[in-house]
Structure 1
């Protein structure tokens, strides 16, 4: 299904009044967007090539998604995740005598997932994003590998047209932050890291964005630093370079135990990397460590809005800088 509806074309109202958001929304996922996302998933399940054609695993997909979210949230019934005020609406729609389109078109488990997605408090954005991410994983798991790109494309179109500041990349929700930085640095770096040879670094970078989304800024900076180091280790191993310890008084460590200090020195010594970028890599190492120390120094203290906002900016800087350097390293040495 095209991103521009079933016809593959923009409508007159969309051409004349294109959706434009100067400030992306992060903490509110409107009902309209959630309905569109569910519709896209419903269509994709029918259209995507499964691993065992011609079978379609609709109930298996939604069963797995519901089991996952209930387990992660520690509840037995999805109704427990909804605001108390909407329980009667959900109960009515679940009634046996209801002849609504929901009952007519969806199986019980599909309907349950739909109701949870739609009736969830629009400000409970973490629950809604978790539902989208879990469903994308469950769909991609039963379909061919190429399906992930189509899922990402469809969901991201909804995010973009509704001014929602997230993007689905390889079945994981990513906080977009600055649009230009995201488009030119974050997305390309994640695409490069999705190569099987960089699976460890990819997992760490995705975890960094996951920690950022959940306000664990210390964890986000830590994982961004790990992804940066893992990328250097992979590049050194691919090029079969011998490790260089810039401190001659210390023994040369194994690759697994090598510090960023040793890794940067090794890359600089074995390559024609410009001296200014060798310095930049060292500065990045120091910056990530400084930001982590800054976060550590406030652990256990009260956090007002100003302090929290400072952490967000520091964390965004760490993520963007790490991603930019990872992108440079892979494009230069791979």
Structure 2
């Protein structure tokens, strides 16, 4: 690793994503896309992708451009803030959008779509995604590409200890439902819908418990978080030598539904209730930690 990067403290701790993508990061992602899609510019500036040609998917960049324009109400990319023109060549158009568009969320949308396609079609492997995420970290941008989408991370330590282990453990057919809900929660948080994010995080936690109960043939009662937690304790899901910690653990497990019920589970009345980012981060981290310990215990019980 170059000295300049070893000496960059942003590698140690990332900053919250604030709808800003540094110019340096945009150019680094440009070079990564050129490598992944084997983009070349021939005579007459006719830019093409050798990788897409071999996949018989020459219209991918045009489809991505059209999708983003439709979703964000643009006639073409020249309507986007910071983009003064929209070349007819769709690859050139997307590259200019990546480098120039001032609406960073829209740029992240495009990066996400292009790397999701690359992963799904084996143009990008684990090493490429590691490089992509490293670029975000070294520029201090709190986004990480996980399970085909970007999620917001506000603390490197909490992300590595609470969120990422939960995502990895849920990545199986048995926990596909909780995984979908947990990813949805992170997507809603990234989009600024904090109330929905907390609700989805709580659903993922509850779905994890329900999946474990059903796999063991235990009653799920009314299906509420309280009923599911009670079932886990009644059936001694936790090892007996944890008895001294049961009270504290139960309080932790009860914590997430409490956050959801107090902040999003009921009508807000005449006054708009704003759910702050820090509470949403807490809910996502708490859900991740709870899901991680539950699935780890379940997996251990199946050996």
The answer for unaligned runs of 5 or more in structure 1 is 1-9, 96-107, 245-251
| Mapped pair 1:26 → 2:3 | no
Q: Which residue of 1 aligns with 2:30?
A: 38
Q: Structure 1 residue 127: deviation in Å?
A: 1.4
CA RMSD of aligned residues (A): 2.9
Structure 2 gap ranges (5+): 40-50
Corresponding position: 1:70 with 2:69? yes
Structure 2: how far apart are the matches of 1:118 and 1:53? 21
Cα distance, 1:278–1:55 mapped onto 2, change above 3 Å: farther
Q: CA deviation at 1:25?
A: 4.9
C-alpha distance in 2 between matches for 1:126 and 1:221: 21
Query: Normalising by structure 2, what TM-score?
Result: 0.81
Per the TM alignment, residue 298 of structure 1 is displaced from its structure 2 partner at its CA by: 5.0
| 1:292 CA displacement | 4.1
Q: Which moved more, 1:289-298 or 1:214-223?
A: 289-298
Residues 277/167 of structure 1: CA separation in 2 closer, same or farther (3 Å cut): farther
How many residue pairs match? The answer is: 281
What corresponds to 1:105 in structure 2? none
Give the 3 Å change call, closer, same or farther, for CA 166–57 of structure 1 in structure 2.
Answer: farther
| Alignment correspondent of 1:104 | none
Select the residue among 101, 113, 118 that pairs with 1:120: 101
CA distance in structure 2 between the partners assigned to 1:242 and 1:278 by the alignment: 22
Q: Once the 2 structures are TM-superposed, how far is the Cα of residue 233 of structure 1 from its aligned partner?
A: 1.5
Aligned to 2:232, which of 257, 267, 275? 267
Name the SS for the 1:59 alignment partner: coil
**What's the secondary structure of 2:144's corresponding residue?**
strand
Alignment partners' CA distance in 2, 1:58 and 1:67: 15
**Post-superposition offset of 1:190:** 0.8
CA 12–322 in structure 1, closer or farther in 2 if over 3 Å, else same: closer
CA deviation digits over 1:161-219, x for unaligned, max 9?
11111111122111111211101111111111122221111110011111111111110
TM-score normalised per structure 1 = 0.74
- 1:148-167 per-residue CA deviation (whole Å, 9 max, x = no partner) reads 53442121011011111111
- SS state at 2:141 partner: coil
Alpha-carbon offset, residue 262 of structure 1: 2.1
In structure 1, the partner of 2:161 is 184
Q: Would the alpha carbon gap of residues 128 and 231 (structure 1) be closer, same or farther in structure 2, given more than 3 Å must change?
A: same
Match for residue 108 of structure 2? 129
Contact 1:82 1:116 in 2 (8 A): no
What displacement does 1:301 show?
A: 3.7
